[in-house]
A and B are shown apart, each in its own frame.
Chain A
Amino acid sequence: MRTGTQRILCLWFPEWTLQRLVVARPELDRCLLLLTERMQQGEFVRYGNRLAQKRGVRVGMPVSEARTFFRPRDRIIMEAVQPPQDRQALIELALRCERFSFRIGLEETDHPESILMDVTGVAQFFSGEQGLAEELARALSNKRYNSRIAISETIGSAWAAAHFLAGPLQPVVIPAGELNRLEPMPVMGLRLDDSTLTKLQRLGIQTIRQVLALDRASLTSRFGAEIVTRLDQLRGRRPETITPCHPLPTYRVERNLEEGISHPEAIQQLWSLLLRQLLDLLTPKCLGTRHLECRFIMEDRTSQSLSLRLCEATNDQQHIADLLRLQQEKLRLSSPVVVLIIEALDVSPLETIQQELFDGGTRGHARQFSMLVNRLSSRLGAEAVLVPCLLPDPVPERAVQMHRVSDANSAESTTFPARFHGVDRPTALFPEPRPVEVIAMLPDGPPAVMFWQGIRFDISYSTEPERIESGWWDGEYVCRDYYRVETSSGQWLWVFRHLQDHLWFWHGEFF
């Protein structure tokens, strides 16, 4: 899904931990300030201010070593880093920037240093995006913050531009459709973890352009799925949202009973009542829910929950009640229920319905299909209603990943190499390969006769072997020669010879 009209502002505070302290206590700027972190091996320098760096103190240095650089007259302040306080201070600052955006959040890392703002449609109030960014930069500068600002069409591109293109009081605005301007930037702009960056550097890959030139399948197999995800997020091919800092309102109703109830009809009547109360909270705001949790607390203080996930946001009481009823059948309550809580965990506007599971077709059909999938998932379990997704792995049992329908939008199938055709793979693949006895006419040749559980299969035709071999980096090493064989009665089977131990297995069939 390409989000072409969206505009995201990234506001980065280099060394935020240090900045926070210096802004709060300006006198620290005249001291030799070190922020330290205690690890298993000892205490290390995490941040040092300009004066500390001038003395020769480096980040990552043991504190004992850093002390050797101090001079007798230096006013030294050493404090331990406090990530929760850093995050809280950044949130407070983000909330103070609310006049620039209707949706503000932090970057999603353990030690955030950037604030993300959705500024779609806001720029007109600030004489354009450049004006908006400059006004924000001036406001922060007045408060003694050192910031870098960039505006682009995706979170990934705005983040990269803020870190590698923007300067102090020099915001960068990347117009829509010009994301290729980011290609010469270093790979650090992709927000990858340290191990992936090290691997890329070892291979001599320095820029985003070099990464883009590589084959996606091989990128995934060598570096994991994260790198492809980050590339897609940078280019807007995979959606990424800002989690707002503002605490969201909770939609929850609860009923405490003086005496427990155990009769299914009474329980159903109670949750029907609470469900109506919950939907009365959502309906006036035109909101619906995609995830509902129903929690039963019993007299013996144990509890059980029903979790309902839906394909799209809904506030249709009848539909939700039907789905809960299907789930209630599976509920086994050990003692009478004394407390019932219903909470809508995922709430979204009814108008902005999630991406349709199936494009095309009429809106009515899409809605009917959503309701069907909800019913199937409620009764059979979400793990039983699946959307297949192909992976770039040649080993058959690892070539397909099953996603729940509710997660299907995030699933992306790869394409199988074009040299494969219709019957190159069997329509049924056994969960476990079946060990078989085989007689071959030639050593290392195709099977002539096959035995499985006392059944004899005379092979009359066999295709050339297809060698399937996994990469050494994929964990369990697989090296097999697969044959599509036809029995004398016309059955088509898929068998393989394990090249390490020369054992034969029957792995699939055209059932």
Chain B
Amino acid sequence: MGKLNLYDTQKQTIVELQSRIRACERGAFAHSTRSLTTGCDALDTLFPGQGVRQGSLVEWLGDSNASGAGTVSLMTGRRVCPAGRPLVLIDTRHDLFPLSLSLLGFDLSRLILIRPASEREALWACEEALRCEAVGVVWANIEQITSTSFRRLQLAAEDSAGIGFLVRSAKAVHQPSWAEVRFKVHPRPSMCSSPGFQVEVISHHGKPHHSMADIMIDNWKGTLYENRNSANPLPLVPRMDVATTRRRSTGT
């Protein structure tokens, strides 16, 4: 174990003070909860507790097709899921591709995929799963959530010290939310073999807050990392790799 330096002590103090402020603002938490790192420092700093707090909900909003909100939230969910606990994915759109999840490092034997027939059923399943202490992370893409339903989800998560990730479209930004933090994910041109995203904080504890991080997916490790070259002032030159060699994958 490394020596604790001044920087670490300061960071720890800030986190403690932040958690005290949170407790004053929203009432003390029933459980002593801890924050789990997402494995990407840039993303961690966007969370109030420098990581995903157990017993909280996180909202991920995406603009349109291929916004990246679902992908980033899934990868974060995998990273913060406590060891030995299953992940429950509520796939309302019925298009989650488990093969991709396997390539991104998910253990499919510890994963339950729920494909409900309606958003109402999805909401019920989400609350039931959040209420179960045995579940590590509950991930759901649900569009319509009333304030009362949201509050029920938040209380369920807090009771079980579980983690809930909700993926919604950007239209939901004006709707009331009980999420600890709301992110908006924008796709960012990366011009390389991995997608890049910008994660922007919309609100902390329901209060407007603005900070952002540029992140990318590590194609080899299946993890997220900070894209430090995003401030490159050079214009993006369209590039097309014409096929020279072809990879073949056949059933033989």
- Residues of A that sit less than 8 Å from B by CB: 218, 221, 357-358, 360-361, 364-366, 368-369, 371-373, 375-376, 379-380, 384-390, 393-396, 399-400, 402, 405, 413, 416-417, 420-431, 441-442, 445-446, 448, 455, 458-471, 474, 481, 484, 486-493, 508-511
Contact = CB atoms under 8 A, between A and B. Distances in A.
Residue with the greatest number of chain B CB neighbours at <10 A, chosen from A424, A445, A481: A424
Contact of A463 (B74, B83, B100, B193): B193
A386 B193 contact: no
B217 A385 contact: no
B95 A429 contact: yes
Nearest to A372: B132
B103 A372 contact: no
B103 A400 contact: no
Contacts of B84: 358, 360-361
Contact of A446 (B125, B243, B249): B243
Contact of A369 (B86, B96, B115, B251): B86
10 contacts: A372-B129, A380-B125, A425-B103, A426-B97, A428-B93, A431-B94, A460-B239, A462-B240, A467-B249, A484-B193
B62 A511 contact: yes
B114 A380 contact: yes
Interface in B73-117: 74, 83-86, 93-105, 108-117
B33 interface: no
B124 A379 contact: yes
B128 A372 contact: yes
Contact of B103 (A395, A422, A441, A466): A422
Interface secondary structure of B, over-half rule: loop
The interface size bin for chain B is 35 or more
Contact of A422 (B94, B95, B219, B246): B219
Q: List the 5 closest A-B pairs by CB distance, nearest first.
A: A490-B187, A388-B98, A491-B66, A471-B251, A360-B84
B251 A445 contact: no
B241 interface: yes
B97 A441 contact: no
A446 B241 contact: yes
Given A423-B103, A466-B246, A511-B71, 20 more contacts: A221-B251, A369-B134, A380-B114, A390-B98, A413-B108, A422-B104, A423-B100, A427-B97, A427-B104, A461-B189, A464-B246, A464-B247, A467-B248, A467-B249, A469-B248, A486-B190, A488-B189, A489-B187, A511-B66, A511-B95
B132 A427 contact: no
Given A446-B240, A486-B190, A492-B187, A368 B246 contact: no
Nearest to A444: B243
Interface of B: 62, 64-71, 74, 83-86, 93-105, 108-117, 121, 124-125, 128-129, 132-135, 186-197, 217-222, 236, 238-252
A388 B103 CA distance: 13
Given A380-B116, A388-B113, A393-B251, A426 B100 contact: yes
Contacts of B246: 464-467, 481
B50 to A, nearest CB: 25
Contacts of A510: 66, 68, 70-71, 195
B99 A399 contact: yes
Nearest to A442: B242
Nearest to A221: B251
Nearest to A411: B109
B74 A427 contact: yes
A110 to B, nearest CB: 32
A208 B219 CA distance: 40
A457 to B, nearest CB: 9
A431 B97 CA distance: 10
A481 B84 CA distance: 39
A352 B217 CA distance: 44
A416 B191 contact: no
B110 to A, nearest CB: 6
A400 B99 contact: yes
Contact of B240 (A396, A425, A461): A461
Given A421-B103, A422-B221, A491 B111 contact: no
Given A366-B134, A421-B103, A511 B67 contact: yes
Contacts of B242: 442, 445-446
B96 A428 contact: yes
B97 A421 contact: no
B60 to A, nearest CB: 11
A461 B69 CA distance: 21
Contacts of A361: 84-85, 134
Contact of A386 (B112, B188, B194): B112
Nearest to A387: B112
A490 B195 contact: yes
Contacts of B116: 380, 384
Contacts of B217: 422-423
B100 A368 contact: no
Residue with the greatest number of chain B CB neighbours at <10 A, chosen from A422, A424, A455: A422
Contacts of B67: 491, 511
Contacts of B245: 464
Residue with the greatest number of chain A CB neighbours at <10 A, chosen from B97, B110, B193, B249: B97
Contacts of B190: 461, 486, 490
Contacts of B241: 446, 461-464
Given A384-B116, A387-B113, A441-B240, A416 B86 contact: no
